[in-house]
Amino acid sequence: MTHHDLGLLNGVKKLIIDGKHVDGLEGRTFETRNPATGKLLATIAEGGAGDIDLAVAAARRAFEGAWSKYTPFQRQECILNFADLIDRHFEEFSLLDTLDMGAPITFTRSRRQRAIGMLRFYAGMCTTIQGGTLPNSLPGDVFSYTLKEPVGVVGAITPWNAPLTSTIWKIGPVLATGCTVVLKPAEDAPLTALRLGELALEAGIPPGVINVVPGYGHTAGAALAAHMDVDKVAFTGSEVTGRKVIEASKGNIKRLMLELGGKSPDIVFADADLDKAVPGTAMGIFGNSGQVCSAGSRLLIERSIYDEFISRVSVFAKALRVGNGMDSDTQIGPVVSAKQMERVRSYIDIGIGEGATVSTGGSQMFEDSLSAGYFIAPTVLRDVDYRMRIAQEEIFGPVVTAIPFDTDEEAVRIANSTVFGLGSGVWTRDGAKAHTTAKAIRSGTVWINCYGTLDPVVPFGGYKMSGYGRESGIGHVDEYLQTKAVVMQNA
């Protein structure tokens, strides 16, 4: 199946507001292109501030109207129907993600269990939302209890690096709690969110509960973050944009959930099982072409194995098959855009200028089949000092910086030496060392003898400037609820 079979080139892909396909009020459009070929995939209606106003109004009507009457069981049925529909259309979603942002089709197909599993997890959470009765120390006949109520209209701003799963991460708790949402997908990969909006209606989710307004961050995204009738914003993206979301939220003191950048350390101790650690650390950074917020982009290696480990990781990286994501043999696809490719290339140049050495990769790939796309060779930079820019700033590409350490304490100090704290990894056969190191690292997730594994029941989020709030886990749903206290004294 090709992208022509999906009909992506037929007409303009419209916004979804109040259950209807509509053009943007200003009549503007933008293009989304296949990063492997540079060719046009689709033309998208561009939403602006006026369209955000309409979408928020539709979300408010749905929140206060029919959707508010749905019982937990009815919301659960809607989510399960939605999950079943996505499951039936999963090949289409795999193709959309691969064509729109470049990830290998083998990778996007492998996300089925995660995507469907998340929705079914949130379906299960619908019937667990509950308040409680409270003991009183007040005089007289007083009865106190709490209610859990949906926070209201949610503005969700999603990234381009995992369109399906990142969008479900926002939709799931909205539906579980009885909130409504206006989705602003990333302009680099909006097709999956639009298709999800269509299937939500088919699943029986009322119009206005899920609205999808593609557009640019400085227009549609800014309007959504600042909107006075949005009760909460859930944002995934860069720390720079996260600051703007925080600033925009001040108007009505809206609640925020921010999942921002990372510069995650992946620590390899000398006693690690290197046969597992080499592919584990390599794919912890090169998977999805390094375009993962929690990618293990800083490889901290105990000095006694530093040269051997870099050599083995470099051999592994060089053997990875880079190509068009639609080729089933491809292991590493392109980065998402020409802009992102230039960003990655510039950081490699910065690293070399700072004194790092290229062990493998280090350049754009120009082979005939790759010349029109945005391909960067998997890159290992060695002889890196932890204070270099390439070891402190998020590159968001297939580039790993290899940093030596001598002691356990130094490893932890280097691991904690950035402003970020999203993910981290520890590779060792020593259980005590693993748990001691995990406790000392200031990050939201520590993977031990693995990297990047995610489960709907396990919370995910950051320390420091990697944001606040947690996605996944039981607490995720609570982030979309208000707690109301009721105190009654009998007459």
The burial of 109, by beta-carbon neighbours within 10 Å (0-12 exposed, 13-18 middle, 19 or more buried), is given as: middle
Tracing tokens 């947690």 back to the chain, one arrives at 470
Cα(356)–Cα(380) distance, rounded to whole angstroms? Answer: 10
CB 490, CB 135: distance < 8 Å: no
DSSP state of 364: B
Examine the residue annotation and report whether 126 is marked as an active-site residue of this protein: no
250 HSE (CA, 13 A, CB side): 5
Tokens coding 491: 């007459």
Catalytic annotation, pick one of 126, 187, 293, 302: 293
- H or E stretch including 29? strand 29-33
Q: How many helices (H) and strands (E) in the chain?
A: 15, 23
For residue 307, which amino acid is it?
A: D
Catalytic annotation, pick one of 46, 259, 302, 394: 259
Tokens coding 245: 């979301």
| Centroid of chain to Cα 101 | 13
Beta strands in 53-209 (DSSP E): 133-134, 142-150, 153-157, 180-184
Examine the residue annotation and report whether 259 is marked as an active-site residue of this protein: yes
Length, in residues, of the chain: 491
- H or E stretch including 379? strand 379-382
Active site residues: 259, 293
